Amino acid sequence: MLYGAMNFPVRPILSELETISGLGFDYLELAMDPPKAHYTIVRQQKDVLLRALGQSNLGLVCHLPTFVSTADLTESLRAASLNEVIKSLELAAELGSLKAVLHPGVISGMGVFAMDEARQYALKSLEVITETAGQLGLTLCIENMFPRSNSLVNPEDFVGIFERFPGLKMTLDTAKEGDQVMEKDGVKILILAPEVVAALEGMVMDYQETAEGGGFSISELTSDT
């Protein structure tokens, strides 16, 4: 299993990289947001950044722009947001990113009162983004969102998305507003479905490495456990 950490895009990328490397992480998840990590700024530092990643033996995952509006009802805002994502995707490919993480289109403002229309715009934007990622040879991972985003929050929200875009992967974010978190032996675990919390009571969860690879096991608690 590999562990990574995300830069805080208010701070210079290279100083963030140095800190993350010093903490022993395996990869940098590059948040491609302004003011310090917009794709235009990252491009200016491309050679230095690649050299620093190599010297630090860090992998790279690019987190595409967060604060954009690919589901906006206003066409010009939607087009500008989509352009930001595409330009960032292109740079991620140039940097040799292992994967690219995408926030689905947030539905806000007047979009809340025209949900069907906004969701169609979000899907059209996602179609362009996935096609571009495929052309660039990038693995695209879509991320679950918080309830107020009105977009891809619950597990069932993703069924149609993965049917329509089978090449998409998923990034499971840490706990967001509305998520349930249970604690086992001092370790907090994110549970998306509330009914799972009850089902896991009295169970033992463990991570095991085998010849076939690593994975989690769940078993009943016994007197020998």
Q: What is the mean pLDDT of residues 175-198?
A: 54
Query: Is residue 193 within 8 Å of 155, Cβ to Cβ?
Result: yes
Cβ 28 vs Cβ 53: under 8 Å: yes
Record the pTM.
0.75
Residues 48, 79 within the same domain: yes
Identify whether residues 128 and 189 lie together within a single domain.
no
**What confidence tens digit (pLDDT) does each residue in 116-131 have?**
999 999 999 999 999 9
pLDDT tens column, 79-118: 999 999 999 999 999 999 999 999 887 888 898 899 899 9
d(CA 219, CA 225): 10
Same-domain status, 124 and 156: yes
| Domain identity same for 166 and 188 | no
Q: Which two tokens mark 41?
A: 């700024």
189 and 204 together in one domain: yes
CATH of the domain at 72: 3.20.20.150
